[in-house]
Amino acid sequence: MIDYEQIRKLSPAHGDIFVVPEDTPVELAKALAEAIAVASPGVKAIVFRGDVRRLTIAEMNTAGWYRA
C-alpha cells in the first residue's frame, strides 16, 4: 500500500541512484525502476535496495560504478 504522505516529486536525471529500504519487495523496486523509465525515457537510473554504503569496491566495479 502506498503511503500518500510519503510521496515526493522525482525528477530523475541520468546516473541517479534511488535507494529504497532493504525490506522493499523486489517487485516494488522493479515497479519503481519501470515507472522511472516511463516517466523519463532515455534516463538511465538505478534502484538499489538497502544501504548502498555497504557495497565493496569490487561490487561497485561489477555494477559498473567505477571510482575515480
Q: Looking at the chain, which runs of residues are DSSP E strands?
A: 17-20, 46-49
pTM for this model (two decimals): 0.71
* Residue pLDDT, tens place only, 15-66: 888 999 999 999 999 999 999 999 999 988 889 999 988 888 888 888 777 7
Domain boundaries, the chain: 14-62
Q: Could you give the maximum distance between any two Cα atoms of the chain, in Å?
A: 40
Bridge-based pairing state of the strands 46-49 and 17-20: parallel
DSSP 6: G
